[in-house]
Amino acid sequence: MGKVIAVFNQKGGVGKTTTNVNLSACLAQLGKKILVIDIDPQGNTTSGFGIDKNSLESSMYDILLEESSALESIIDTECDNLQLVPSSTELAGAEIELTTLENREIILKNAIDSVKDQYDYVFIDCPPSLGLLTINALTAVDSVLIPIQCEYYALEGVSQLMNTIELVRNGLNPNLEIQGVVLSMFDGRTNLSIQVVDEVKKYFRGKVYTTLIPRNVRLAEAPSHGLPIIEYDPKSKGAEAYNDFAEEFLELEEDVI
């Protein structure tokens, strides 16, 4: 049965989308069947896979507000084993439109439950906010994968993040777990990066992945070509890191192929 994971941190620019696109692509290349769901109205995961969010017949919006079935909005990507529910620009208004609906927090969960058995993993890319879209994601998932950027103030906002997880555990999703914490944009030449790794490891004892995702310009370039890093530049440091991360992820899941 598919495991459902939200890539979540309410801070923007910490590497959520980059992690979502590239971890998914690496796992798919390793043979896992993956569904990626983009609920960020910015649609960066959607465009990261080379999908034009302005020319979609059906998207996440239709699932949330038009009661269309999840199946109708799932599309293939260029990557084998990897399908996508794309975001669209309409999703920006969804947060407000959702407020009037009954069961507004569990629409995504219901949609995912109807398809998750067809996949090994379902990843949801969350927007950088704590609104109804994010609540829908946290309600729908088994666990959260938290990217943290190696920068000054890395832990700022983390207590709010943990409070949100606690709140959801106390209500809509008692079984919500922390999948793990992945450190992104690591620069081994700076003391700051090294300090951040120590601090984050102290805070999230035993939950931090050993693999560090380095700052790598190829990772930043890949989305403008609509490709995951392993397709765009498979020999880059970024590709190597996300491959290592995917392997570590599967080892900890005891799901090694």
Residues that bind Mg ion (CB under 5 A): 16-17, 44
H or E segment to which residue 241 belongs: helix 237-252
Q: Can residue 109 be called a binding residue for ligand ADP (CB under 6 A)?
A: no
Please compute, for residue 104, the number of CA atoms within 13 A of its CA located in the half-sphere on the CB side.
14
- Figure out which of the listed residues 2, 15, 86, 180 binds ligand ADP, where binding follows CB under 6 A: 15
- Sign (positive or negative) of CA dihedral 255, 213, 239, 222: positive
What residues are paired with 184 via a beta bridge?
149
Q: Can residue 46 be called a binding residue for ligand ADP (CB under 6 A)?
A: no
Q: Can residue 252 be called a binding residue for ligand ADP (CB under 6 A)?
A: no
Q: Can residue 239 be called a binding residue for ligand ADP (CB under 6 A)?
A: no
CA separation for the pair 256, 252 (Å, rounded): 9
- Give the nearer residue to ligand ADP in terms of CB position, either 101 or 217: 217
Cβ pair 251, 257 in contact under 8 A: no
- Give the nearer residue to Mg ion in terms of CB position, either 17 or 179: 17
What residues are paired with 205 via a beta bridge?
none
- Figure out which of the listed residues 3, 65, 113, 128 binds ligand ADP, where binding follows CB under 6 A: 128
Residue 216 binding: pick among Mg ion, ligand ADP, none (C-beta 5-8 Å cut-off by kind): ligand ADP
Residue 185 binding: pick among ligand ADP, Mg ion, none (C-beta 5-8 Å cut-off by kind): ligand ADP
Residue 77 binding: pick among Mg ion, ligand ADP, none (C-beta 5-8 Å cut-off by kind): none
In angstroms, give the least distance from the CB of 100 to ligand ADP: 28
Q: Which of residues 195-214 bind ligand ADP (CB under 6 A)?
A: 213
Q: Which of 206, 199, 213, 198 is nearest to 252 (CA)?
A: 206
In angstroms, give the least distance from the CB of 163 to ligand ADP: 19
- Sign (positive or negative) of CA dihedral 8, 144, 122, 16: positive
Neighbours of 155 (CB within 10 A): 14
In angstroms, give the least distance from the CB of 43 to ligand ADP: 11
Q: Can residue 53 be called a binding residue for ligand ADP (CB under 6 A)?
A: no
The tokens describing 144, both together, are 């959260």
Q: Can residue 12 be called a binding residue for ligand ADP (CB under 6 A)?
A: yes
Q: Can residue 16 be called a binding residue for ligand ADP (CB under 6 A)?
A: yes
Q: Can residue 179 be called a binding residue for ligand ADP (CB under 6 A)?
A: no
In angstroms, give the least distance from the CB of 222 to ligand ADP: 8
Q: Which of 130, 194, 193, 190 is nearest to 162 (CA)?
A: 130
H or E segment to which residue 7 belongs: strand 3-7
